[in-house]
């Protein structure tokens, strides 16, 4: 799990996601399934009680606190959905 502080943090992961083009499945708002090298990983985006945006993924990299491309792929969908909710 990592805390999302800004988009700069995601640059490398987004570049990788663009190359790998994982499949992102929508579960519910903040809850996604992203295809990876060994099947699907679950990515959860949420706001913690103290206002931090946290992102967790079930892959090995994310366990170590790395920003993985699964999280980047899910976040690009999540941010779009969050915008839609705000403007709705």
Question: Applying CB under 5 A, which residues contact Zn ion?
Answer: 41, 57, 59, 62, 68, 70
Q: How far is the CB of 2 from Zn ion (least distance, A)?
A: 10
Q: How far is the CB of 68 from Zn ion (least distance, A)?
A: 3
The C-alpha atoms of residue 49 and residue 76 are separated, in whole angstroms, by 22
Q: Looking at beta carbons only, is 2 or 41 nearer to Zn ion?
A: 41
Work out the end-to-end distance of the chain between its first and last CA atoms, rounded to an integer number of angstroms: 30
The C-alpha atoms of residue 86 and residue 5 are separated, in whole angstroms, by 20
Q: Looking at beta carbons only, is 5 or 83 nearer to Zn ion?
A: 5
């Amino acid at each position: 799990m990592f805390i999302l502080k800004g988009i700069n943090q995601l640059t490398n992961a987004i570049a990788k996601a663009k190359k790998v083009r994982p499949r992102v499945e929508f579960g519910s708002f903040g809850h996604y399934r992203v295809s990876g090298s060994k099947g699907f990983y679950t990515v959860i985006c949420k706001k913690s009680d103290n206002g931090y945006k946290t992102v967790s993924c079930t892959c090995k990299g994310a366990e170590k606190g790395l920003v993985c491309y699964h999280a980047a792929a899910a976040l690009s969908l999540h941010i779009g959905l969050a915008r839609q909710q705000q403007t709705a």
